[in-house]
Amino acid sequence: MNLILLGPPGAGKGTQARRLEDTRGLVQLSTGDMLRAMVAEGGPLGQQAKEIMAAGKLMPDELMVDMIAERISKSDVKNGFILDGFPRTVAQAEALDKMLEEKGLKLDHVIEMRVVDDALVERVTGRYTCAKCGKGYHDVFEKPKVEGVCDVCGSTEFKRRADDNAETVTTRLAQYHQQTAPILPYYQGRGVLKTVDGMADIDDVTKEIEAILAG
Ligand code: ADP
Ligand code: ZN
């Protein structure tokens, strides 16, 4: 099963994608995480990505599609993938469709996670992850059971994304409304679009998504 989780920054895409990895054996393809890994590795492409991301801009479509194509060819993606953070423009959606068609793959569901803007700034500025295992947390909404200790792996080191501050969130949100929201009618036209209430509790959002997947 191949899915796209679509929604503004902080909508809960990563949170839900990680749950679907555990329950359905799908592979989460967070293009943001993939790019950040590329930046951390250094190299000319990483340097280019770093500059573009620091400016809050988008990567060239071709680079992104190639990166995804390479990843979904790997054997661990046999049960399917969850794209999180891509596509972000109609042009990217079209490029993705073309690439998938060439590979004989299809999208089963595109799930829009709808959350009001006011809630997003608080979600994004409060989020952090375990530096060791990547488990996501939030200062208010999802604290570790023991303060300062990861529930999953026991690590005491956590990290925050450099771009998760109030200013960039506002820019990223505006970009979402201008460039990404027009994808919704595109997928609606293809009959694969479903919408869930991303304002609900994390567990309730999971239930809504499960209901869609159970079809
Ligand atoms: P995205 O991947 O869409 O940018 P995340 O999954 O990182 O969003 O979620 C952003 C933050 O909001 C995280 O800290 C997460 O714990 C929290 N969060 C996610 N879903 C919900 C929800 N339904 N209700 C409250 N907080 C949530
Ligand atoms: Zn951990």
Residue 11 three-state SS: coil
pLDDT at 161: 92
Q: In the structure encoding, which two tokens stand for residue 59, read together? A: 């990567």
User: What are residue 130's DSSP bridge partners?
Assistant: 158
The list of the chain residues with pLDDT below 50 reads none
Give per-residue pLDDT as tens, 151-207.
999 999 999 998 899 999 999 999 999 999 999 999 999 999 999 999 999 999 999
Ligand nearest to the CA of 169: 1
pLDDT at 206: 98
Calpha distance 138→148 (Å, rounded): 12
pLDDT at 44: 83
Report in angstroms the alpha-carbon separations of 131 from 67, 187, 202.
24, 35, 22
Amino acid sitting at position 4: I
Ligand 2 mean position, distance from CA 160 (Å): 14
Q: How far is CA 63 from the centre of its chain?
A: 17
pLDDT at 57: 82
pLDDT at 126: 96
Q: Is 85 in the pocket of ligand 1 (CB under 6 A)?
A: no
Q: Is 9 in the pocket of ligand 1 (CB under 6 A)?
A: yes
pLDDT at 54: 85
Q: In the structure encoding, which two tokens stand for residue 18, read together? A: 């990680």
Answer CATH for 2-115+179-213 from 3.90.209.20, 3.30.1950.10, 3.90.1150.10, 3.40.50.300:
3.40.50.300
Calpha distance 16→172 (Å, rounded): 20
Residue nearest to atom 26 of ligand 1 (CA): 141
Q: What percent of the chain is modeled with pLDDT above 90?
A: 79
Considering only CA atoms, which of 82, 110, 99 is closest in space to residue 183?
110
pLDDT at 99: 96
Domain boundaries, the chain: 2-115+179-213
